Homo-oligomer: A and B are copies of this chain.
Amino acid sequence: MTIKVHDKLLLTGAAGGLGKALRDRLKANCSVLRLSDVQAFGDALEGEEIILADLADAAAVDAMVKGVDAIVHLGGMSVEGPFGPILQANILGAYNLYEAARKHGVKRVVFASSNHVTGFYRQDQTITADHPARPDGLYGLSKAFGEDLSRFYFDRYGIETACVRIGSSFPEPRDRRMLATWLSFDDLHRLITACLTTPVLGHSIIFGMSDNAVTWWDNSRARHIGYVPQDSSDVFRDAIYARTTSPDLNDPVARYQGGGFVVAGPFGD
């Protein structure tokens, strides 16, 4: 059963893939679920309210945050791309969000970070949250910025944040890399629930993955969150091997944890 400790919860990026997956699930975590995205995505249902906001617009973000008890921040760019939009949505946007949280006394945030913060580690390495960031692109860089930003807001203002380095959250794993990185929607919800309800969260970094056999990430320093995954990529293993070929280890895409992101771009001019 999902424990409900917040009255009004804000979910940003509600119109995106993960936002949709969480919209129903997060209702169990609160009395009112406030949904936000940059553009209109339909009407609020019962138990919901909708406030649209461009994350780069401080005033809009302020209005979006005002009145909520906690935030699940999925908003912003979620793929590699040119720096301009990433700067606006993910860097300025994260700053605006935390400034609003500070002003309105919001004390807990679940920040959707990404495995691309550490995408330049090799797939034969096991890393912990203490390994230095090795972002695999501009997107990963912006998420590393968000992690550091939230650390500052914790050290300075006591706002607790869980930086959830989401692996690959899809209905099912699509390729051999995702055998390691897959995070089921239900486990994603379990993880966010754990972050929202654990008595003391502090500023924590946790890798968002299901209970996969193959893994590169060690969450042993984040046990105080109490996340216990219940799904696993293993049941998809045979099928994925059957339809995919062995990786070429001379290809950075196969060698590094970030997969295709490590060769995306450069974008621009």
Contacts and interface: CB of A to CB of B under 8 A. Distances in A.
Interface of A: 1, 3, 5, 83, 87, 91-92, 95, 99, 102, 107, 120, 122-126, 130, 132-138, 140-141, 144-145, 148-149, 151-152, 155-156, 158, 160, 176-177, 179-180, 194, 197-204, 212-216, 218, 220-228, 237-238, 241, 246-247, 249-250, 254-255, 262, 266, 268
Nearest to A87: B92
A159 to B, nearest CB: 10
Nearest to A240: B3
A167 to B, nearest CB: 14
A262 B130 CA distance: 23
B215 A266 contact: no
Contacts of A135: 148, 151-152
Contacts of A133: 148, 151
Contact of A216 (B134, B160, B216, B224): B224
Contacts of A250: 158
A126 B266 contact: no
